[in-house]
Structure 1
Amino acid sequence: MKRFLQDFMRWGILGATGIFIAKTLNDYWPEVRALQFQPQAGIFLSIAIAVAIGTQLWSAILWGWILALLQNPVPKRWAMVTFLKNAPAKYAPGSIWHLYGRVVAAQNRGIGLELATLSVMLEPLFVIAGALGLALWYRATSVPLILALTGILIVVHPLVFDKLWKGWRGLRGKKTFGTTLSEYPLSILMGTLWFMGLRSITFLFVVFAFTPIDWEIYKPLMSGFGFAWLLSLVIPAPGGLGVFEASALHVLDPYLSPAILLGAVCTYRLVTLCAELIGAIAAHLVREDPLILS
C-alpha cells in the first residue's frame, strides 16, 4: 500500500506539472510558434551540450569523493565510467535505477552494501546544499533557504552525522561500526556548488540560443535556475521531469518571456538528455579500470 501511495504521488505530481506546462504552452502558443533560434544558436547549443557533459563528469568525480569520505576511495576513472553508464536510468519508472546500478557496481568492487547505499543517499543531500547555495546567491535574505542550508551543514558534520547514523542503525537492531565520515566534507559542498553553477551555465547557453540577455539578469537567472532545480530534487518525480520545467516557468517569469522560457526549458531538457546519452555511450566504450582485465 505504501509503495502504491508513493508511486501515485510521484506520477500524480508528474501529471500535474505536465498539465501546467501544457496549459502555459496553449496560452502562449502564438508566441512559441514565432520563436526563432539566433544565428549562432548551433554554437551556443554545442557549448551547452559540452558543458552538460562536463557537468556529468564532475558529478561522477563528486560521487568518488563521497566514497572516499566514507573511507572507500575509488579511482576517478572507475567512478566516472560507472556514473555515466547508469545516468540515463534515472528516467525509468521508480527513479532509483541509476542509484541501484551504482550500488551494485560498488559492491562488485568490494564496497559494503550499506556504505555503497549511503554514498548514493548522501549525494542528493550534497546537491541540495549546492542548489540552496546557488539559490541564495540572489535570494540572500530568504529565511527558509538559509535554515535549510544551515541544517544540512550541521547534519553532515562527522560528529552529528555519525550519531544520527548509529542511532538509525540501532533502531533497526543493527550493530554500529566505526565512524562513517572521515572529515568535514567542505570540498564536496564546494564541489556541489560548482556543479550547480555548471548546470546554470548550461541553461544560460540554451537561453542564448533564443535571445541575447542583459548582464543585469545573469545573477537572478542563475539563482532562479538553482531554486527551480532544488524543487525538482525535493519534489518526487521521475528524473525531475516536469517539476523543473514548471518551477522554472514560474520562478524565471520576471526575467524572460513565457515563450522564451518554454523554448529554453524544453531545449535544456533535450540538451541534458543528449549529454547523458553521449556520456553513457562513451562510458560503455572504455574500461572501468585499465588495471582490471575483463
Structure 2
Amino acid sequence: MTARFALPGGLRRWITLASAGFLLAALLGHGRQLLALQLDGQGWLWLLLGVGVSLLSLVVNGLAWGIVLRWLGHRPRWAAVVLLFLSSNVRKYLPGGIWHLAQRLRCLQGISAEASPQEEVSSMAPLPQPLSGREAAVAVLLEPLLAAVAALALVPMGGWQGGLGLLALVPLVALLPRWFAPLLERLQRHRTQQWAQWGLLQGEATAAEPPPLQGRGYPWPPLLAELAFLLLRFGGFACCVQAFDLAYSLGWGGWLAGFALAWTAGLVVPGAPGGLGVFETVLLLRLTAVVPEAPLLAVAISYRLVSAAADLLAAATARRDLAVIRNRAYC
C-alpha cells in the first residue's frame, strides 16, 4: 500500500500563498517605480474603454454558454441564459471559487432560493425543462473546459516559444470525440460525486441516461464562441497595455500569447478565487524577460481592477433585469 502525500491545508492554499507571496515581493521590489508611473487623461480613457470591452466580453461569454447548451441538445432561453451567467459570474470571487458554477448548476435543475419553482420555470429558467443532476453537471463543466482549450489555442500567436506554441495545440486534438467523451465522462463523475455531497445536485444518475456526448461531433460552434470571448477579453487587457504605453515592448502576438497562458492558469489552477494572484504571477513570470517588470506589474494590477469592475457592473445590471422580470411575473 502506497501512502499518499498531502500538504497541510491542501494544495489550493499553498498555491494561493505562493502566488500572493510572489506578487507581494514584486510590489515591494518595485514600489517606488510603480508610484512613479502616472496615467494621463488618455491613459484613463484607455482603462475606461477596457471596462467596456471586458463587459462586452462577458455578454459574449454568456452567449457562448448558451451555444454550449444548444450543442448538448438543449433549448436555451437566450436572455435568461445570459442573465444567469452574468449574475452568477461575480460569485467566482467568493472563497472556494466554485459558487458561480453552483448557482448555474442549481438553476439548470430548476432550483432557486429567490423564486418559487413555478415562477422559475415560467419566467426566469434558462431552459424550458429542468435538467437532471448529471446533465446539469456536464452543461456547467463544459463551458470553462472549452474556454481553457480556446485560450491555449491562442498561445501559438506568440510564435514557437521553445515548443510551447505547438504543445498548446494538443488540447484541440483531445476534443476529438474518441478521446473527449471518456475524459468528460470521468470529470463529470468526479464532480457529480463531489457536488452531490455538498447538496448541489438533485436525484442520481441512472443507467438509462446516455453518455453526455453521445452522438455529438467535434464541438466547433461552442469552441469558436469561446474563442470570440477570449479575443474580446484580451481586448480589455490590451487597453491596459495601451494605457501604460507598453505596446512597443512586445508585439501583439506576444502579448496575446502571454495573456492567454496566464488566463488559462488563472482558470484551471486551484488557487485563489477568480484566479486572483495566479493570473498575475504567470503573466509576470512569462513576460518579465522582455517587458520591464514595474510597468508590467502596473498593467496586471490595472487589468485585475478593470475586469473586476466589469464583473460587478455585469452582475448588478443582470440582477436588476432579473428583478424586473420577477416583478412582471407577480403582476
Q: Please give the range of the TM-score, normalised by the shorter of the 2 chains.
A: 0.7 to 0.9
Write the deviation string for residues 131-153 of structure 1: whole angstroms up to 9, x where unpaired: 11111111346545634533x33
Residue of structure 2 equivalent to 1:197: 231
Residue of structure 2 equivalent to 1:116: 136
Equivalent runs, 1:269-280 vs 2, <5 Å: 269-280=304-315
**Greater CA deviation, 242-251 or 212-221?**
212-221
Match of 1:54, as an amino acid?
L
- Which whole-Å CA distance do the structure 2 matches of 1:117 and 1:170 have between them? 9
- Which whole-Å CA distance do the structure 1 matches of 2:296 and 2:149 have between them? 25
Q: Is the 8 A contact 1:65 1:73 kept in 2?
A: no
Write the deviation string for residues 231-265 of structure 1: whole angstroms up to 9, x where unpaired: 22231112111010111111121343111111111
Match of 1:203, as an amino acid?
F
Q: Is the 8 A contact 1:17 1:242 kept in 2?
A: yes
Name structure 2 gaps, 5 residues minimum.
Answer: 111-124, 194-204
Q: Is the 8 A contact 1:61 1:79 kept in 2?
A: yes
- Which whole-Å CA distance do the structure 1 matches of 2:96 and 2:8 have between them? 10
Equivalent runs, 1:28-47 vs 2, <5 Å: 28-47=30-49
Write the deviation string for residues 173-231 of structure 1: whole angstroms up to 9, x where unpaired: 95153353333211222222222221222111012112252396211111111111122
Q: Is the alpha carbon distance of 1:179 and 1:16 closer, same or farther for their aligned partners in structure 2, counting shifts above 3 Å?
A: closer
Q: Is the alpha carbon distance of 1:160 and 1:200 closer, same or farther for their aligned partners in structure 2, counting shifts above 3 Å?
A: same
- Which whole-Å CA distance do the structure 2 matches of 1:288 and 1:217 have between them? 45
- Which whole-Å CA distance do the structure 2 matches of 1:168 and 1:97 have between them? 18
**Greater CA deviation, 246-255 or 73-82?**
246-255
Q: Is the 8 A contact 1:217 1:255 kept in 2?
A: no
Q: Secondary structure at the match of 1:285?
A: helix
Equivalent runs, 1:243-282 vs 2, <5 Å: 243-282=278-317
- Which whole-Å CA distance do the structure 1 matches of 2:86 and 2:8 have between them? 27
Residue of structure 2 equivalent to 1:175: 207
Residue of structure 1 equivalent to 2:166: 146
1:96 shift after superposition: 0.6
Match of 2:68, as an amino acid?
I
Equivalent runs, 1:168-247 vs 2, <5 Å: 174-175=206-207, 177-178=209-210, 180-181=212-213, 182-211=216-245, 213-214=247-248, 217-237=251-271, 238-247=273-282
Name structure 1 gaps, 5 residues minimum.
Answer: none
TM-score, length-normalised on structure 1? Answer: 0.88
**Among the aligned pairs, what percent are the same residue?**
29
- Which whole-Å CA distance do the structure 2 matches of 1:116 and 1:260 have between them? 43
Q: How many residues in Structure 1 have an aligned counterpart in Structure 2?
A: 291
Q: Is the 8 A contact 1:53 1:276 kept in 2?
A: yes
Q: Is the 8 A contact 2:158 2:165 kept in 1?
A: no
- Which whole-Å CA distance do the structure 1 matches of 2:230 and 2:270 have between them? 19
1:56 shift after superposition: 0.6
- Which whole-Å CA distance do the structure 1 matches of 2:43 and 2:184 have between them? 49
- Which whole-Å CA distance do the structure 2 matches of 1:142 and 1:176 have between them? 48
Q: Is the 8 A contact 1:77 1:289 kept in 2?
A: no
Residue of structure 1 equivalent to 2:18: 16
- Which whole-Å CA distance do the structure 2 matches of 1:167 and 1:101 have between them? 22
Q: Is the 8 A contact 1:135 1:224 kept in 2?
A: yes
Match of 1:247, as an amino acid?
V
- Which whole-Å CA distance do the structure 1 matches of 2:240 and 2:189 have between them? 48
- Which whole-Å CA distance do the structure 2 matches of 1:105 and 1:286 have between them? 16
